[in-house]
Chains A and B, each alone.
Chain A
């Protein structure tokens, strides 16, 4: 009964000028497990947030069970029987599992007192019916990541959700937890519920879904039966062949004076508190002057953590990060240029002016003897605005600029000091073609002057377009680093990245060969 159809959904985020959904269509039949796949920023989450009432579409229609509905808020979605498990579980740590489940819809005594016994009983019934083994009295703070997810699903079932949306449910799970989640989802589908799961792991689509919709650049490309489509075909559809790729740059031959190692990561391991497995697991690489090392991975595979470790934002649980042979300083100085993935929170002070943002890094220069040099600040801002073609004035509040302009301000600041080591994380995410091209030029210009550049990105196209050497991360491990070039097996890289790397790993173990990713014969 609860089939879902979305037609012509468009959503434009004015503040960051991103067209997140571009006439997207979705059809999910009742009782089906449907996967939505796509790269980061393809618009999967936005589409589901629209279905769940967290975002309002600019245009388009939603039909639920054949009837047109308008979902204005998650509360309305709940009334319609739509529930969503977000990427980060929303659980009250101080409450028990049973209390968390009944929160906001509690069984009561005398109309206002929480009936704990009834809450536990409802919880136990729900858990037994659906094959969960959660302890109703366990505190939220004591639950593992997998259990927290089960609890989120229970919350939806308690509210009688018939359509369950899960946003990247496996990103944080260990292997066994994934199996148990999939078993749960199958049971729920068998009992007549409709399930939509967002993922970018091709293998999982084949393992769990009945049908799949591929999204790219905000558009829905095709709806396929999961059984009919091969992993590679799906990967190609997701990554979008060469048509979207910027022109491949010729890798630069290292010059003799460039051989010195600037940056080194030695056996980095990073374990998030409470995580089932390390986010970064035994990653080692070194970076010489005048080269770009591109590391590609999809979200949840340790790329964000690697970014933090390489820039000193987090300390590794074990292993070492060396810049010019020394440990990273406690606070980042001018020696590292860093364009973070999280531009709006980490990379920029939205409530400060453009010139203040530009002056934030090299404070020694803009505050001689501790006193602000208005002249230096303004003239640097004016130069940056001219040189980077930023549509703004020095006095303008940064938050009022477009996403592309904000990124240019960040670039102008980070590239100004001619640092020997540069880190770019998803530097063109959400940017239009012209801005992307501009960012690429700047990165390559920095390479030309001899900077060692670490590019971490979830776009394989981007990594292949800019890097001299390429590595791929999956589940916290760096699969291997290859010279970039026309002989590099792109499909293989894509597969390794999409979590199909297990075969590769085992082959590596059996054959004992050096690199996990082979070239074309």
Chain B
């Protein structure tokens, strides 16, 4: 009698399939309309990510950051806390890591990297925790407060990068590069894939263990599915507002730190390039389940890399990248709408089926 679980899994896979096929069809349509060399562009888009080490490695590198951001979003959404401040929290994490490493250029690499990761997690966590705290004590909607706090921080971060942390020798608005000793080893030159990917996999495994095997994950799931029941069962529901928000922010912060340590080496203005939002998309496609985060992040990175390959290798302009990303996001959130907000509708549907 695992029928309901199986049905839920089928529904999720179906949603996944719809998002993939829909996005692919639209990409084909766009390429057909926008490119003068349709078949070449098509091939670049779908096979480009596998063509050479650079694209393939970059795809995996992007996926590894998206896994962290996706987990960050899933941790919040899974407990019905809506953290929309991912952008700012990624930024905060990266800037904190950069500041620490630039401040301690001669520290031993393990110490420096450890401190940078800790600092970035704390910075992201503090930003998100603040919204959770406001929700708990003043009833402020965390969806709005996290979004606004993040928007403010993006400008604050911009100021830090072009002000106190600005690299005086550079014409770009960017910090100086971190010392080579702190840079994570590249796995797949010339691509950006670095040992940061292992950290992502570790975080993923930890999240799966926590959610499936521990009391923390059990209580977390009960709160997310029915907060009144959780309260009735004696669970400290207040803790499950602030803690998931803080953990979500910490994961976003870590995503920013690994982007810095593994790929960029310096924090530039606007360098997060929407990872905070992509993380939400990844979590929504995955239905907030840690075990589905990896395929979801890979899908997202694949489409993104394909779009970039087309952009570089053919006459299609960069805008198509944004259009295709937006399409994926749209298809994904349209499906997610029933996963996130449709619990009542699905229950009614289930009830109706039984009555018939």
Contact = CB atoms under 8 A, between A and B. Distances in A.
Interface stretch (B21-29, B59-67, B219-227, B305-313): B219-227
A361 B354 contact: no
A45 to B, nearest CB: 18
Interface stretch (A7-15, A87-95, A161-169, A291-299): A7-15
A363 B229 contact: no
B110 interface: no
6 A-B pairs with the lowest CB-CB distances in the bound complex, closest first = A14-B355, A15-B351, A367-B215, A397-B4, A332-B234, A360-B233
B9 interface: no
B225 A332 contact: no
B47 interface: no
Contacts of B355: 12-15
A361 B233 contact: yes
Given A12-B355, A400-B350, A370 B214 contact: yes
Nearest to B216: A370
Interface in B179-220: 212-216, 218-219
Interface residues of A, number: 34
A282 interface: no
A336 to B, nearest CB: 9
A372 B213 contact: yes
A349 B214 contact: no
A345 B213 CA distance: 25
A227 interface: no
Contacts of B235: 331
Interface stretch (A67-75, A350-358, A443-451, A504-512): A350-358
A302 B352 CA distance: 33
B222 A360 contact: yes
Interface stretch (A101-109, A119-127, A143-151, A388-396): A388-396
B350 A15 contact: yes
Contacts of B352: 14
Contacts of A340: 232
Interface string B221-248: 1100110111111111000000000000
Contacts of B2: 395-396
A202 to B, nearest CB: 34
A12 B219 CA distance: 35
A349 B218 CA distance: 12
Contact of B356 (A14, A347, A352, A371): A14
Contacts of B219: 363
Contact of A363 (B218, B221, B232, B354): B218
A370 B215 contact: yes
A41 to B, nearest CB: 18
Given A15-B350, A345-B228, A371 B214 contact: yes
Contacts of A367: 214-215, 218
Contact of A371 (B5, B213, B229): B213
Given A14-B351, A15-B355, A331-B234, A396 B4 contact: yes
12 contacts: A15-B350, A332-B233, A332-B234, A345-B226, A346-B232, A350-B226, A352-B222, A361-B234, A370-B214, A370-B216, A371-B215, A397-B5
Contacts of B350: 15, 399-400
Nearest to A363: B215
A346 to B, nearest CB: 5
Given A351-B226, A360-B222, A14 B347 contact: no
B134 to A, nearest CB: 21
B214 A351 contact: no
Interface string B336-347: 000000010001
A352 B215 contact: no
Contact of B228 (A12, A346, A361, A370): A346
A338 interface: yes
Interface of A: 12-15, 313, 331-333, 338, 340, 345-352, 356, 359-361, 363, 367, 370-372, 392-393, 395-397, 399-400
B229 A345 contact: yes
Given A13-B355, A14-B355, A351-B225, A393 B234 contact: no
A497 B278 CA distance: 59
Interface in B1-49: 1-5
A360 B1 contact: no
Contacts of B212: 372
A12 B354 CA distance: 11
A349 B227 CA distance: 9
Contacts of A363: 215, 218-219, 233
B229 A393 contact: no
Contacts of B1: 392-393, 395-396
A400 B229 CA distance: 17
A349 B351 contact: no
Contacts of B214: 367, 370-372
Interface centre among B3, B4, B225 (most CB of A within 10 A): B4
A258 B218 CA distance: 38
Contact of A346 (B215, B216, B218, B229): B229
Given A349-B226, A367-B214, A399-B347, 9 more contacts: A14-B352, A331-B236, A346-B228, A346-B229, A370-B214, A370-B215, A371-B213, A393-B1, A400-B354
B229 A349 contact: yes
Contacts of A371: 213-215
Nearest to A312: B234
Contact of A352 (B221, B228, B232): B221
Contacts of B5: 395, 397
Contacts of B228: 345-346
Interface centre among A361, A371, A400 (most CB of B within 10 A): A400
A71 to B, nearest CB: 19
Contacts of B3: 400
Interface centre among B3, B234, B347, B352 (most CB of A within 10 A): B234
